[in-house]
């Protein structure tokens, strides 16, 4: 059984403490399953991890070091011209912290070869004709507002920052949204290609860094950052990954960093871009919902209104449904037809 499979623990009575796990026990369990999955089942020598200076990739790096030893872990840093420079510094810091020699790959030439920036900016210019990245314009997309404050549907907005720092936001038409997202996804898919290069070079497995919030709600790119061999923390809520981070001695500067997308030139947090709710609220509401705890009981435990809890639960269900195709395995039509033939 690979990491992420099977129950995490017995369900505790719902409270703010319900999200707590035994991090020592969980680290030991994941490390053991990584060794079983990668070494015995896949027959690979070690693991490749793309590190970004964020919490999740740092935790996965630490788990792999414990499972395989630092000499059998390839830590790949893959910035591009729009990446936050702080990400690279923190990635180097965490690699050094765990005695792993990092590998640096600037993916800008590859991404530029796909015309990622040009395709994306073409869509932006149809909305904002004066937009020009060459003279200092930056942009990002995100969902509107905090769900705890208002019930606004998940309609993506484009925020453009001009060279003087002024911001304007615009609702994105469907055609432009699809083009911006499709072009931007070249970044994640390019990184996936580099990870598999180093995996095949060293006879390693590619180890994913998605947590439960990202994996189950669809905050990943299919055949991009979702293109991995093993997902060791996809069963853990983000707040539980923080608990592992403390157990694994992840540097405080990384634990204190606000989770960001680091995909768009204007920056942006993961909450702004996708989740719309702080992780400490999202995770507890979600856990309560999965345990069939009433909205009223969840609201009382978290000092929220029943309407706020309902909005968060509805958003979770909606995102799970609309992104379900991302988690579906490749369909083998031949096998399906053969199965139907055998039934007749």
Tens of pLDDT, residues 150-177: 777 778 899 999 999 999 999 999 999 9
Which carries the bigger pLDDT value, residue 268 or residue 57?
57
- On the question of pLDDT at 181 being above 80, the answer is yes
In DSSP terms, which residues pair with 269 in a beta bridge? Answer: 260
Highest average pLDDT, of 60-64, 82-86, 278-282, comes from 60-64
End-to-end CA distance of the chain: 34
State mean pLDDT over 22-51: 98
In DSSP terms, which residues pair with 50 in a beta bridge? Answer: 76
State both tokens at 253: 């500067």
Do the Cβ atoms of 206 and 196 come closer than 8 Å? Answer: yes
In angstroms, the CA 90 to CA 103 distance is 14
Domain boundary assignment for the chain: 16-112+179-327, 113-178
In angstroms, the CA 302 to CA 315 distance is 18
Helix (H), strand (E) at residue 205: strand 205-206
In angstroms, the CA 232 to CA 5 distance is 9
| Average pLDDT value for the chain | 92
DSSP state of 74: E
Matching CATH number, 16-112+179-327, of 3.40.50.620, 3.50.50.60, 3.40.50.10860, 3.40.50.2300: 3.40.50.620
- Residue position matching structure tokens 């497995």: 205
Q: Edge-to-edge, what's the strand order for the sheet holding 205-206?
A: 102-104, 73-77, 47-50, 205-206
Which carries the bigger pLDDT value, residue 272 or residue 82?
82
- Residue position matching structure tokens 């309609």: 155
pLDDT digits (tens, 9 = 90+) for 237-296: 999 999 999 999 999 999 999 888 888 888 888 888 888 899 999 999 999 999 999 999
In DSSP terms, which residues pair with 141 in a beta bridge? Answer: 158
- Residue position matching structure tokens 């004066």: 130
DSSP state of 181: H
Q: How confident is the model at residue 195 (pLDDT cuts 50, 70, 90)?
A: very high
């Amino acid at each position: 059984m690979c990491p992420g499979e099977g129950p995490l623990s017995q369900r505790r009575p719902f409270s703010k403490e319900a999200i707590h796990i035994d991090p020592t026990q969980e680290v030991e369990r994941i490390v053991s399953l990584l060794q079983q999955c990668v070494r015995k089942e896949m027959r690979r020598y070690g693991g490749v991890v793309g590190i970004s200076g964020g919490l999740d990739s740092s935790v996965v790096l630490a788990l792999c070091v414990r499972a395989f030893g630092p000499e059998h872990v390839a830590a790949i840093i893959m910035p591009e011209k729009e990446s936050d420079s702080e990400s690279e510094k923190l990635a180097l810091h965490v690699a050094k912290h765990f005695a792993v020699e990092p590998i640096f790959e600037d993916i800008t030439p590859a991404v530029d070869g796909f015309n990622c920036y040009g395709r994306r900016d073409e869509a932006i210019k149809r909305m904002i004709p004066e937009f020009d990245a060459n003279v200092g314009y930056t942009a990002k997309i995100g969902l509107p507002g905090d769900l705890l404050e208002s019930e606004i549907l998940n309609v993506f907005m484009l925020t453009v920052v001009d060279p003087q720092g002024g911001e304007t936001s615009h609702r994105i038409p469907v055609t432009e949204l699809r083009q911006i997202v499709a072009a931007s996804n070249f970044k994640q898919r390019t990184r996936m290609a580099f990870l598999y290069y180093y995996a095949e070079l060293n006879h390693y497995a590619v180890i994913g860094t998605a947590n439960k919030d990202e994996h189950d709600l669809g905050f990943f790119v299919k055949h991009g950052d979702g293109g991995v061999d093993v997902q060791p923390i996809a069963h853990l809520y983000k707040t539980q990954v923080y608990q592992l981070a403390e157990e694994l001695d992840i540097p405080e500067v990384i634990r204190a960093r606000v989770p960001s997308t680091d995909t768009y030139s204007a920056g942006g947090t993961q909450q702004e871009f996708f989740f719309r709710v702080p992780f400490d609220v999202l995770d507890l509401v979600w856990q309560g919902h999965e345990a069939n705890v009433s909205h009223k009981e969840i609201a009382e435990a978290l000092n929220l209104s029943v309407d706020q809890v309902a909005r968060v639960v509805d958003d979770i269900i909606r995102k799970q449904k609309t992104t379900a195709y991302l988690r579906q395995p490749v369909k083998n039509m031949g096998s399906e037809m053969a199965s139907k033939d055998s039934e007749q």
